[in-house]
Amino acid sequence: MLQLKEILTNTNPSTISRSVTTPGGNFNPLARFTAEQLLNVVICFHEYLARQESFKTWLPTLFIDENNLEPLLKICASFAQDKKALLQFKMRINRGLIISGAPSQGKTHILRLFQRLIGYYSQGESFGLVNAQKVVREFEQNGATVVDRYSNKRNMKCELIDYAYDDILAERPARHYGGPETLVMPEIIEIRESVMNNHGIKTYFTTNHRSAVIKDIYGDRTIERILAMCDPVVFPPEAGKFRHNSMS
């Protein structure tokens, strides 16, 4: 396996065609890789970060076996927009992901790795990521402005950006200063569907729950919106931890 330095040297952003863009006009720095190549890059990137003091709790390498290999390749196919792999996995072009599985299977970790990797190639610009419970806490402090803030996130150039919402359904109903209880995430999801339809901007979710539970709590229309925006990636129960001993 190539070392991270060699991989990154051989895939410098300046060597990638700038014609590779998303429907929203954003450059996709990972589009030069196949899904398999990108998984190799992600493994090396994890190993590189795991040697840094800030990530000392991480295992030295990602643990990958037959139980989590396919979900990880699906995630890589999506970020690389590898058309051959997307077809193989019956996934769609230019869609986000809803990544589900039991707690501690690496759902959040893999998104954070991609967030950092894209940032490396894009001079620090990447997709946003926020925990759903943090959104609820901010809503309870600041009200409905939080829905707009997390639905229409923009970069320093005021361009709409892809965004990930971590651990949906773990959040409680929100109440802003004595107002009625509100499920904040379905409101954000409704706006994100419009953002995708109008601007081609992708949305990602992680959850510990399957679609039926999301439907029961958020309602039929919200799960329809999620599945319109995202391809599902499911980690099976047999898939274990692959980041560190206290993974979330």
Q: Which pLDDT does position 22 carry in this prediction?
A: 52
Exposed e or buried b for every residue in 201-216, given b needs 16+ CB within 10 A? bbbbbbbbbeeeebbe
The CATH code belonging to domain 4-15+28-234 is: 3.40.50.300
In the chain, where are the structural domains located? Answer: 4-15+28-234
Q: Which pLDDT does position 20 carry in this prediction?
A: 53
Pick from 205, 245, 235, 246: nearest CA to 65: 235
* Backbone phi and psi for residue 234, each to the nearest 5 degrees, phi listed first: -115, 125
Residue count of the chain: 248
CA-CA distance, 156 to 141, in Å (whole number)? 25
Is the dihedral angle over the CA atoms 189, 81, 122, 9 positive or is it negative?
positive
Pick from 190, 205, 228: nearest CA to 92: 228
Pick from 78, 83, 167: nearest CA to 129: 167
CA-CA distance, 37 to 24, in Å (whole number)? 25
What is the pTM assigned to this prediction? Answer: 0.86
Judge whether 46 and 158 are in contact, CB under 8 Å. Answer: no
Q: Which pLDDT does position 243 carry in this prediction?
A: 53
Pairing of strands 230-234, 203-207: unpaired
Q: Which pLDDT does position 10 carry in this prediction?
A: 52
Cβ within 8 Å of residue 83, ≥6 positions away: 93
CA 191 to chain centre: 17
CA 11 to chain centre: 22
Is the dihedral angle over the CA atoms 14, 16, 17, 20 positive or is it negative?
negative
**Digit-coded pLDDT (tens) for 110-144:** 999 999 999 998 887 899 999 999 999 999 888 88
**Residue 173 DSSP symbol:** P
Task: Provide the residue type at 165 as one letter.
Answer: Y
Q: Which pLDDT does position 13 carry in this prediction?
A: 38
Both tokens of residue 60? 């030295």
The segments of the chain whose pLDDT lies below 50 read 1-5, 7-9, 11-19, 244-248
Q: Which pLDDT does position 4 carry in this prediction?
A: 44
